Chains A and B, each alone.
Chain A
């Protein structure tokens, strides 16, 4: 009889369980300062926080610690694009491509004569399909139900209108302007964060173009030193937007690259640094720690972080809420950029992010070219959910 697999399993189990046991205990203690399980030797405890990994000393003012290559914008950007403020493309026109589910469903509800159980199922399903999420959907519909009980709403058409009005109202209170403050320690730093593949680098290219057209003196910081060729990608965008970029070496310390970029911007009188960061999943504790450090170090000398923009892909499902919560905790997120809204996804999770976490959506990405970025307009967005194409 071959016991090998069983023994292996046992070994792994023991090693892991034992290793983790120690950690879990330490953690429990760190969480509860009172001596829950008094260890045998009560010395002065320099509480060991397991989650605080010994970290590399933060760079103070440094000169050429790392090779930092400064690249002036090349004139040969593949797509120079027009040099005017991009005419905001009305989202409606752009989303129209993707009109589908919503139109059908809500139009169908409106056309009914009476509000029945099916009406509620249709509304619920439509909201769920837009990734609005079960709990938000349930509470939205519960509010409507109570208004029906009070006879405020009597027919399907006014029910849909009321839902639309309610959702718009919930979004309308938030300020959505991008913060640029000329009175703080210059330059302004806008940090772009998010999980992998949401479109951070592309968004920075577009923001750079728009802000330059807006009269700002923009510099890009290639803080994604992890992903292969991320810096090259940003460099291409720098060329297209005709702004300078500061790069570090691949695998280098992102904090250092951004710090250097800010110094460089201050030295040459740039007033806005757009800092890219590597995509990271929000449950990777060490990477989130790294991001906290990036934020801290960025404004250590010159510069002030005035925006931390979380980039969220419109295809994201309920996980978006966890992304927003975790990134907000680590970096104090000031706004959301909702990308890829030109596809078939509706990005309904931003509704939960706004209403539950209070983080406003500021920008919307609608394509791969440099001008495909518009300010988020809640009226239009909600209208789009309800009446696209109709």
Chain B
């Protein structure tokens, strides 16, 4: 989603990165390109103007002239500015002393309120809470039915009462108290911010249930109007945070930047896919990194921690570094990785992924082909791919519905990777000095290396024909992937 904004910024900033001197004209050119990138990404006109003005102020000030590397300095300024706009800290959800904690959902028609309500309920459930959903959208045909279906999918009860939305919401609150649910999520009908009657109605709903959190659901594809909508809803309801829906599209999400800037309320959650668990808390600082092409390593680690067993992961790492990582292990790891979400969303979080891979629209279905090839091998072949001869190749290709060259490529690439892993292991191993233990790495240095990776790319990694050797710029630290080219 933010990917294309990030690649835009990357290419703009790459022009100045590492430059020794920057003239005023250089800076102006960069600023005008940044403005264009922001506008193309649907950042509000006023917000874009303010952002550019603030960057200009810092960039042409004393700071820049004194800096050793003015280009790098600009990158830093832009990064700070984006982080500031996106909204500082993650919204921390606290729970009411006297349950239930009441959440009200509001937004335009089609912004994704009902789906988000269900996804939010699932999120609360994963936090150990017991939510109750209330269907107070009595306007759109079958909206309550939709909520009920989603409720069944996530095993969360749904309350509704045909008639009046205010009464439904009030009775929903009473119902939550009666059956002892500690979170109440009230879905409402979509409404235009200029529809006075309906805005008054949602104000009455809000007055009746006194929500602890009022979330405004905004479609990530929204254009300039996002700001008007957010201002109008905020004036009526006092919004606590924004839920950004459909963030898995290719919209550049400028609306997200603008809304925070204009109403000063953070983006609390983001929906990143059609599946009901594709919903996460929004971490502004991490997102800024993602926009600037630095990846979102923290989220990735969190997700990885949920699916990987620590001991198992360490054991696998040892295997990798000693060159004993087999195709069978790979297949197993791939299953774990798949649990973390779609391949494209994981890719978005990896720092410095080469653009050609990002742009290749790689879906999970396509990963299946790789899987199919490996699954068509015998266990013995998976452990030692070198025994795969001509006839075995034909068999594997037939078994997986692919061709012999496909099989060849996979085998060849795997051995490249194995060799590289061994070299990396050797590097890291020198410091820890012990075999059979996971190589010790310094997290600080690692994080630093990760950051540097943002500047480089991984295009050499794992691609045959470019058997790069790791240089030793940072001995002992995590290898700098730039050297793999």
Contacts and interface: CB of A to CB of B under 8 A. Distances in A.
Interface string B272-312: 00100000000000000000000001001100110010100
A188 to B, nearest CB: 25
B12 interface: no
B319 to A, nearest CB: 11
B112 to A, nearest CB: 6
Contact of B369 (A50, A286, A343): A50
B228 to A, nearest CB: 5
Interface string B111-129: 1100000000000000000
Interface string B352-396: 000011001111011111100000000000000000001001000
A13 B351 CA distance: 9
Nearest to A197: B110
Given A23-B362, A229-B145, A317 B369 contact: no
A198 B221 CA distance: 11
A168 interface: no
A283 B247 CA distance: 11
B42 A318 contact: yes
B177 interface: no
Given A48-B406, A129-B45, A228-B150, A17 B443 contact: no
B250 A14 contact: no
B185 interface: no
Contacts of B362: 20, 23-24
A43 B403 contact: yes
Interface stretch (B69-77, B202-210, B342-350): B342-350
B168 to A, nearest CB: 17
Given A7-B438, A23-B366, A315 B40 contact: no
A198 B219 CA distance: 10
Interface stretch (A139-147, A172-180, A231-239, A373-381): A231-239
B334 interface: yes
A345 B367 CA distance: 40
Given A18-B417, A232-B145, A10 B317 contact: yes
Interface in B405-436: 405-406, 408-410, 412-414, 417, 421
Contacts of A343: 108, 192-194, 225
A283 B249 contact: yes
Interface stretch (A34-42, A259-267, A294-302, A327-335): A34-42
B360 A48 contact: no
A376 B333 CA distance: 54
Contact of A53 (B228, B360, B365): B365
B317 A7 contact: yes
Contacts of B41: 318
A20 B438 contact: no
A149 to B, nearest CB: 22
A41 to B, nearest CB: 5
Interface residues of A, number: 91
Nearest to A21: B462
A22 B407 CA distance: 10
B102 interface: no
Given A11-B308, A37-B465, A6 B446 contact: yes
Given A24-B356, A317-B255, A125 B405 contact: no
Contacts of A317: 42, 221-224, 226, 251, 254-255
Contacts of B370: 19, 22-23
Contacts of A15: 330, 333-334, 337
B193 A236 contact: no
Nearest to A313: B110
A4 B310 contact: yes
A349 interface: yes
Given A316-B222, A318-B223, A196 B110 contact: yes
Contact of B222 (A21, A26, A45, A315): A315
B363 A285 contact: yes
Interface in A181-211: 195-199
Contacts of A26: 369, 406, 409
B409 A25 contact: yes
A315 B226 contact: yes
Contacts of A39: 404-405, 408-409
Nearest to A27: B360
B220 to A, nearest CB: 8
A4 B314 contact: yes
Given A7-B313, A342-B192, A19 B361 contact: no
A281 B250 contact: yes
A130 to B, nearest CB: 7
B239 to A, nearest CB: 17
Given A21-B413, A43-B403, A228 B146 contact: yes
A56 interface: no
B443 A12 contact: no
Given A8-B308, A285-B361, A344 B228 contact: yes
A117 interface: no
Interface string A39-64: 11111011110110110000000000
Interface stretch (B59-67, B86-94, B134-142): B134-142
B297 A281 contact: no
A349 B313 CA distance: 49
Nearest to B412: A40
B461 interface: yes
Given A195-B246, A283-B250, A345-B223, A368 B150 contact: no
A230 B356 CA distance: 37
Interface in B435-450: 438-443, 446
B229 interface: yes
Contacts of B474: none
B345 to A, nearest CB: 11
Contact of B219 (A8, A53, A229, A315): A315
A236 B143 CA distance: 11
B156 interface: no
A304 interface: no
Contacts of B249: 195, 281-283, 319
Nearest to A53: B365
Contacts of A5: 301, 304-305, 443
B320 A14 contact: yes
A27 B112 CA distance: 34
Contacts of B112: 196-197
Nearest to A36: B465
Contacts of B441: 3, 6
A71 interface: no
Contact of A229 (B149, B301, B443, B465): B149
Looking at A21, A47, A48, A368, the one whose CB has the most chain B CB atoms below 10 A away is A21
B414 to A, nearest CB: 7
A16 interface: yes
Contacts of B84: none
A213 B241 CA distance: 45
B347 A319 contact: no
Contacts of A229: 142-143, 145-146, 148-149
B52 interface: no
B330 to A, nearest CB: 7
A344 B193 CA distance: 8
Nearest to B153: A228
B269 to A, nearest CB: 17
List of 3 A-B pairs having minimum Cβ-Cβ separation, nearest first: A317-B223, A197-B110, A236-B141
14 contacts: A7-B314, A8-B304, A8-B308, A12-B300, A17-B458, A21-B413, A21-B461, A39-B404, A39-B408, A41-B390, A41-B404, A45-B405, A230-B142, A344-B193
Given A11-B320, A20-B357, 19 more contacts: A3-B439, A5-B305, A8-B304, A14-B333, A17-B462, A21-B463, A23-B362, A39-B409, A53-B366, A131-B225, A133-B39, A197-B112, A232-B146, A284-B248, A313-B110, A317-B222, A345-B224, A346-B225, A368-B139
